Amino acid sequence: MKKPDLWWLSISCFLLLWILSGCSTGKQPPAGALSGELIVFHAGSLSVPFKELADSFMVMHPGVKVLTESAGSLASIRKITDLHKPCDLLASADFTLIDQLLIPEYASWNLQFAGNELAVVYQPESAHAAEVNAGNWHRILLLPDVKTGRSDPDSDPCGYRTVLSLKLASAYYQQADLYLKMLEKDKQYIRPKEVDLLALLESGTIDYIFIYKSVALQHKLPFVELPDEINLGSYDQRDVYSTVSTQVAGNTPDEKITVKGEPMIYGITVPENAPNKKAALAFIELLMGTTGKEILLKSGQNPVAPQTSQKTFRLPEELKSLVRE
């Protein structure tokens, strides 16, 4: 009986070593496969499309775990510049913030990839919802019984774009004090980023919010489509937009940067010290490809032909074929 026992013991040891070495599965990742964590900081208005992109990316690259953090674009940038948090990918709702606050110290390039526009969003139960329209929204929002929310200009591009849009509305409707009245009203409903306002709207705490049209479409909310001269979404109106500007907080408490009115364009970059640059560049290739464009369109954000900002001085080789000449 001892001989068979020794034989089975030898076979068992061999099988155990084989399993531990991974040979029995045949599923070892190929050499050069992407792996590790991919840390993505992105604008709140990108939450829906980037969630879908992250899911698709993890199916394509099962060795990668995508970790997304949503915040106002200025707040996201300060996580890199002030808090020195590790980040592989930064997607801003305003590409110019990357130029002004990240290049050249924290990043070396900036790709534009999507557009959007500002809208006034409400609920069917909102005050005066039955009568609000593109011709009277500015009067409705100033009524005493109407409560309106907007995001913080020092944290979120949607916040300072609201200020810019209201300045444009003052000129468009020929009411010089319109934007001042709007900005003085309902200050208690200012929030760090535009998507924070959705809970207030859906609970009935406020009646209207200034937010991106894409967010309204994603959440199936009614909205007032603003004139192109006001909504910051039309390239043809860029000269009109450039007539207004405002100041927001920079990288330090004492620093202020000036933002000018211009068509809304989102930007994306990989910080210089990104822990997982290879996976980050692969994510951008997915974003700029057919799958990414379809996801953006479905989310109400118009893809734009990828191009670098004027401050870009060293675009990675992997992305050069994606950029419009």
Closest CA to 306 of 262, 269, 261: 269
Check whether 298 has a pLDDT greater than 50: yes
Residue 41: left (phi > 0), alpha (psi -120 to 50), or beta? Answer: beta
In this prediction, residue 21 carries a pLDDT of: 45
Check whether 23 has a pLDDT greater than 60: no
Mean pLDDT rounded to a whole number for the chain: 90
Tens digit of each residue's pLDDT (9 = 90 or more) over 116-160: 999 999 999 999 999 999 999 999 999 999 999 999 999 899 999
Among 31-35, 48-52, 76-80, 87-91, name the one with the lowest average pLDDT. 31-35
* Half-sphere CA count of 129, side-chain side, radius 13 A: 16
Residue 191 resides in a domain? yes
Domain endpoint, select from 213, 247, 281: 247
In this prediction, residue 105 carries a pLDDT of: 96
Residue 21 resides in a domain? no
Tens digit of each residue's pLDDT (9 = 90 or more) over 236-258: 999 999 999 999 987 776 889 99
What is the pLDDT averaged over residues 43-69? 96
Residue 16 resides in a domain? no
In this prediction, residue 153 carries a pLDDT of: 94
The CATH number given to whatever domain includes residue 83 is 3.40.190.10
Length of the chain: 325
What is the pLDDT averaged over residues 27-35? 68
In this prediction, residue 83 carries a pLDDT of: 94
Residue 235 resides in a domain? yes
Check whether 11 has a pLDDT greater than 60: no
| Total structural domains within the chain | 2
Instruction: Tell whether 150 and 213 lie within a shared domain.
Output: yes
In this prediction, residue 254 carries a pLDDT of: 80
What is the pLDDT averaged over residues 9-22? 47
Check whether 7 has a pLDDT greater than 50: no
Instruction: Tell whether 55 and 124 lie within a shared domain.
Output: no
| Domain region containing 181 | 118-247
Domain endpoint, select from 216, 247, 278: 247
Among 30-34, 131-135, 283-287, name the one with the lowest average pLDDT. 30-34
Residue 15: pLDDT band by 50, 70, 90 thresholds? very low
Domain endpoint, select from 185, 215, 247: 247
Residue 314 resides in a domain? yes
Among 194-198, 234-238, 282-286, name the one with the lowest average pLDDT. 194-198
Residue 26: left (phi > 0), alpha (psi -120 to 50), or beta? Answer: left
Residue 213 resides in a domain? yes
Peptide bond into 49 cis (omega under 30): no
Check whether 8 has a pLDDT greater than 60: no
Q: Residue 299 contacts by C-beta under 8 Å, 6 or more apart in sequence?
A: 48, 49, 52, 214, 217, 218
What is the pLDDT averaged over residues 12-17? 48
**What would the 3-class secondary structure string for the chain be?**
CHHHHHHHHHHHHHHHHHHHCCCCCCCCCCCCCCCEEEEEEEEHHHHHHHHHHHHHHHHHCCCEEEEEEEECHHHHHHHHHCCCCCCCEEEECCHHHHHHHCCCCCCCCCEEEEECCEEEEECCCCCCCCCCCCCCHHHHCCCCCCCEEEECCCCCHHHHHHHHHHHHHHHHCCCCCHHHHHHHCCHHHEECCHHHHHHHHHCCCCCEEEEEHHHHHHCCCCEEECCHHHHCCCHHHHHHHCCCEEEEECCCCCCEEEEECCCCEEEEECCCCCCCHHHHHHHHHHHHCHHHHHHHHHCCCEEEEEEECCCCCCCCHHHHCCCCC
In this prediction, residue 118 carries a pLDDT of: 97
More confident residue, 71 or 16: 71
In this prediction, residue 3 carries a pLDDT of: 47
Residue 325: pLDDT band by 50, 70, 90 thresholds? low
Instruction: Tell whether 140 and 185 lie within a shared domain.
Output: yes
In this prediction, residue 249 carries a pLDDT of: 86
In this prediction, residue 264 carries a pLDDT of: 96
Instruction: Tell whether 232 and 288 lie within a shared domain.
Output: no
